A = this chain, B = another copy of it.
Amino acid sequence: MAEIPARMKALILKKDGFSGTSDGPTIESLADWCELAEIDVPRPSGTEVLVRVGLGNVNPSDLHYIKGEYGQPRRKGVPAGFEGMGEVIAAGDDEGAQKLIGQRVAVSTSRGGSGVWAEYALTDAKAVVPLHPKLADEDAAALIVNPMTAYAMLHLVKEAGGKAFVMTAGASQLGKLMATLAREMGLACIATVRREEHRSPLEGLGVGTVLNTEREDFNEMLVMAMRQVQPTVMLDAVADGHSADIFAAMPAGARWVIYGKLSTKSPTLPNLGQMVFMKKKIEGFWLTEWMAKASPEARKEAFTTVQERFVSGAWKTDIADILPLGEAEEKLADALSGLNKGKVLIRP
């Protein structure tokens, strides 16, 4: 075991618990929620591993979390950052954890531990993924949240016997990953966007139908698309009135699967008769739960598949910026403000 340094720099949470607000994943300044501090490096025990962080990712779920609007309570003084990559430098007594020492890994801290916006992160051995040697660090830092969600949700569509689905926020990183994977899996895709300039990139990735929710003819186009494509599942990151309209226009048996909440407005429950007479359902999807429940074989198959997609060039992580840890407090909000330019990473 390499020697573990005593102290590290980290962006730690300024507040505890939940805020009770529902403002969505935007920040005016990271300094409202996190501060750069020097703290003790956590020590792994049992099945835990300590990772020297190479790159930390910034996802909408991180912003929800630091604002106290995520599914888990904040822990004041603990580093933020759910996803990143690095090298395992120490582990608890567990044999499986010990075997990971020295390996380059992708890491998730979404079920506890100590976050990746820091020089060192602590998590369970099950929440790290040994990396393909040819996988770039930038792709590795964004390997779990988006790619695994894309993989898991499209398999959900497939397992439900669906041949077509709708995805909202189609121009997001996740939307682009789903577009190309869907094409290979033989699933027809309808994507919604909010700007006309997002149409042709998605069409270029193989999305059959792109609907702009801000256009006046949205509802007309929606009805036509539903009739032609007959999607049975909506994968929804927005959860606003447009989502409700799409759900209402979907055929009998449709499932509205909510996995994010980009909109701050809650929609009105649509046409309840459809739930009674057309067997429509509303449910949620959370990758962390999917990963906890998946069999070791299913996890391995998933992680192998997503890494191979990046190595082969089928998937690509768009990087908007990489900020040094020491500058994130000041610069992160600005770096994030350009919509859909790509991921912003943090380098300790």
Contact = CB atoms under 8 A, between A and B. Distances in A.
Given A281-B282, A281-B283, A282-B281, A71 B273 contact: yes
A285 B276 contact: yes
Interface stretch (A25-33, A262-270, A295-303): A262-270
A261 interface: yes
A266 B284 CA distance: 21
A218 interface: no
A319 to B, nearest CB: 27
A266 B272 contact: yes
Interface in A247-281: 258-261, 266-270, 272-281
Contact of A272 (B268, B277, B278, B284): B284
B282 A275 contact: yes
A170 B268 CA distance: 25
A70 interface: yes
Contact of A269 (B69, B266, B273, B274): B266
B269 A279 contact: no
A70 B273 contact: yes
Nearest to A260: B276
A72 B273 CA distance: 10
A289 interface: yes
Interface string A55-69: 000000000000001
A239 interface: yes
**Most central of A69, A272, A276, A289 by chain B CB within 10 Å:** A276
- The residue in A70, A244, A273, A289 that gathers the most chain B C-beta atoms within 10 A of its C-beta is A273
Nearest to A276: B284
Contacts of A275: 258, 282-284
Contacts of A270: 266
A286 B276 contact: yes
Centre residue among A258, A259, A278, A284 by max chain B CB count within 10 A: A284
A226 to B, nearest CB: 18
Which has the most chain B C-beta neighbours within 10 Å: A69, A272, A284?
Answer: A272
B282 A282 contact: yes
A272 B268 CA distance: 12
Contact of A261 (B70, B71, B272): B272
9 contacts: A69-B273, A258-B272, A261-B273, A266-B268, A277-B284, A277-B286, A279-B283, A279-B286, A281-B284
**Closest CB pairs A-B (n = 7):** A71-B277, A275-B284, A276-B284, A282-B282, A281-B283, A266-B268, A276-B286
Interface of A: 69-72, 239, 244, 258-261, 266-270, 272-286, 289
